[in-house]
A and B are shown apart, each in its own frame.
Chain A
Amino acid sequence: MNTEKNSNPLHEATQWYYTIREPDVSEQAIIDWLSWTQASEENAKAFEKVEQLMTLTAQVKNVEWPDDNELLDDDYDGEVSVQKWRVSQKGWRKWVTTLMDFNFSSRKKLIPTFALPAMAIVFCIFLTYQIPDFNDNNITVSVYETGSAEHEKIVLDDGSIITLGAKSLISVAYNEEQRKVLLERGEAYFDVAKDPNRPFVVGSGSRTITAIGTEFNVTRQVKRVVVTVAEGKVLVEPKSKPSSVPRVIKAFKQKYGNTDKFLVAGQQLTYSQETVSAVESIDSMSATSWKDGSLQYLSETLSFVVEDINRYSEHPIRIGDEFVGSQAYSGTVYTNRIENWLDSISEAFPIKVLAHNNGDIVLVTDSTKIKNNSST
């Protein structure tokens, strides 16, 4: 069974799921599967999860079939997770296109696009690959990923330092003309080394954040991205515009673009797929204190607070109803004392903290408390 490198309950459960689905499954396989599920609570839960997921996927309709070209182009061999492959694909195509836009626009047509994904990709603890040498100008792309409650400090060649928060994923592409980082999920703090000739660009969600030498924090959540500047200046602009060097300089001169936003130290901006907030003033320390293990909030809705905490919590915390999710929370959460925080919110809010038997923690409205409050 365990021929795969990364054996975790979910991976094993998925393997078992497909084993017992085979029409000619042997009695021995069934017995082995039964003893696997009975071996630990974790195994049993993982299997249940897979099964529930598959019941759901069976109900998904109208997925598009890949066409012949896509099938021919596809070089995914299942050796790494789909997510890792996607990041490398995205990174790959994106960096190559940007590079070509920058330097080799005249050569663009000479490079057949189908050749790109066919080139070798090397994975290690993080993943690194090199885009072949078109102009004596290699670009190195590295991917870094952290687990639950894990932080990682990444020191880049130019002296820039990225502190990666828990459950986060970034790819970094460097060459002599540019410094590009893609924050796929989670949170990162950037301490950027000054280099006016080589802007430091962070892509996350619908926008890019460009800095020339500054310190800032980016948090990517499912529905929004929050940018906070601790030192210097950054420019936040829609991703679709190619952020070439002249453009950035022009934008710096204009200072006020349509949806381009300038942020200076002590300012914060939140954007989603479609919307951008106004620039707000904030104590930037509060947005970067996560590096020291505390998450600080000033009237932030609980749904966003919980999304952050879940990158640190051993047991997933779920928002049980809309009322709970919409509560405004101000205060500090110590990522190593999440239980204390749970105790405190059940006192501060009309919220009950329930422990589900699968280990999940569910926050629900405590209606008795609401009644009590209104009567007193």
Chain B
Amino acid sequence: MSAETHIKNRDLQVYLESHELSEAQGALIGELFSQHNDMLLRFLRARLPSDSDAHEVAQEAYVKLLDLDNPSAISYLRAYLFKTASNLAADHLRSEQRASHYRPMVFFKEEQPSEEQTALVNEKIELLHEFVQELPAKCRKAFMLSRYHDMTTTEIAQLMRLSDRMVRKYLVRATEHCQMRLEEATGGRR
């Protein structure tokens, strides 16, 4: 466990204590946090527009877990955590005002990127513009609807009169193309 996770975990610990949970309950959720937090954030980043949205929803999901009357098996909790997060992410996208009920950033600290990192990111975005433009017409349209209009595979399939399977194939190919071209252009550097 890295030092960073350890600190975040301590923040959670403080949070748990302030909510007067039983020791067992706190320990259980603490364990869940330390083992699955990275993956939960990955899961949410795939579904939400930004990092801070992912953090916000993850936090909400943990708080929901705290409300459970009798959390027991960790395997059950894990599935419950992700499913809860999944539902919350959907709500989050739906709600127009994204103001959280919870104080944001209790568990998570956001790092400010350095100027150099920002420049690197901008360079990559510029390259990616070109790579997306290279995609075959239908593949590009599907990818753009997914990326820039938050449409699901099914919605895109209906709009473009294609099968779900084909849309999915286009999205995967488009993503792989961008990844491959980016690696080629940057020589594997991040």
Residue ranges of A at the interface with B (Cβ–Cβ < 8 Å): 4, 10-11, 14-15, 17-18, 20-23, 25, 27, 30-31, 33-34, 37, 47-66, 70-71, 73-74, 76-78, 81-83, 85-86, 185, 222, 306-307, 310, 316-319, 360
Contact of A57 among B43, B82, B128, B141 (CB under 8 A): B128
Q: How far is the CA of A70 from the CA of B137 in the complex (A)?
A: 6
Contact of A30 among B79, B176, B183 (CB under 8 A): B79
Contact at B188–A25, with CB atoms within 8 Å? no
Task: Please name all residues of chain B whose beta carbon is closer than 8 Å to the beta carbon of A30 when the two chains form the complex.
Answer: 43, 79, 82-83, 86
Which chain A residue has the least Cβ–Cβ distance from B138?
Answer: A74
- B124 smallest CB distance to A (angstroms): 6
- B143 smallest CB distance to A (angstroms): 8
**A-contact 0/1 string along B148-190, CB 8 Å cutoff:** 1000110000000000001011111111111111111101111
Contact of A82 among B47, B49, B128, B136 (CB under 8 A): B136
Contact at B42–A58, with CB atoms within 8 Å? no
Contact of A76 among B42, B136, B144, B180 (CB under 8 A): B136
- In the complex, whether B46 has a CB less than 8 A from a CB of chain A is yes
Contact of B139 among A57, A82, A222 (CB under 8 A): A82
Which chain A residue has the least Cβ–Cβ distance from B175?
Answer: A14
Contact at A222–B187, with CB atoms within 8 Å? yes
- A163 smallest CB distance to B (angstroms): 21
Task: Please name all residues of chain B whose beta carbon is closer than 8 Å to the beta carbon of A4 when the two chains form the complex.
Answer: 172
By secondary structure, the A interface counts as helix
Contact at A360–B125, with CB atoms within 8 Å? no
Q: How far is the CA of A74 from the CA of B177 in the complex (A)?
A: 17
**A-contact 0/1 string along B104-145, CB 8 Å cutoff:** 000000000000000001001100110011111111110010
Residue contacts A-B, CB under 8 angstroms, 7 given? A48-B42, A50-B179, A54-B46, A57-B178, A64-B133, A307-B187, A316-B183
By secondary structure, the B interface counts as helix
Contact of A55 among B45, B174, B188 (CB under 8 A): B45
Q: How far is the CA of A81 from the CA of B180 in the complex (A)?
A: 10
Task: Please name all residues of chain B whose beta carbon is closer than 8 Å to the beta carbon of A48 when the two chains form the complex.
Answer: 42
- In the complex, whether B90 has a CB less than 8 A from a CB of chain A is yes
Give 7 closest A-B pairs by Cβ, nearest first.
A316-B188, A318-B189, A76-B136, A66-B137, A78-B169, A82-B177, A74-B137
Q: How far is the CA of A73 from the CA of B134 in the complex (A)?
A: 15
- A12 smallest CB distance to B (angstroms): 10
Q: How far is the CA of A53 from the CA of B169 in the complex (A)?
A: 18
- A364 smallest CB distance to B (angstroms): 12
Which chain B residue has the least Cβ–Cβ distance from A167?
Answer: B184
Contact of B168 among A10, A18, A70 (CB under 8 A): A18
Contact at B144–A10, with CB atoms within 8 Å? no
Contact at B46–A63, with CB atoms within 8 Å? no
Contact at B83–A27, with CB atoms within 8 Å? yes
- A75 smallest CB distance to B (angstroms): 8
- In the complex, whether B147 has a CB less than 8 A from a CB of chain A is yes
Contact at B144–A18, with CB atoms within 8 Å? no
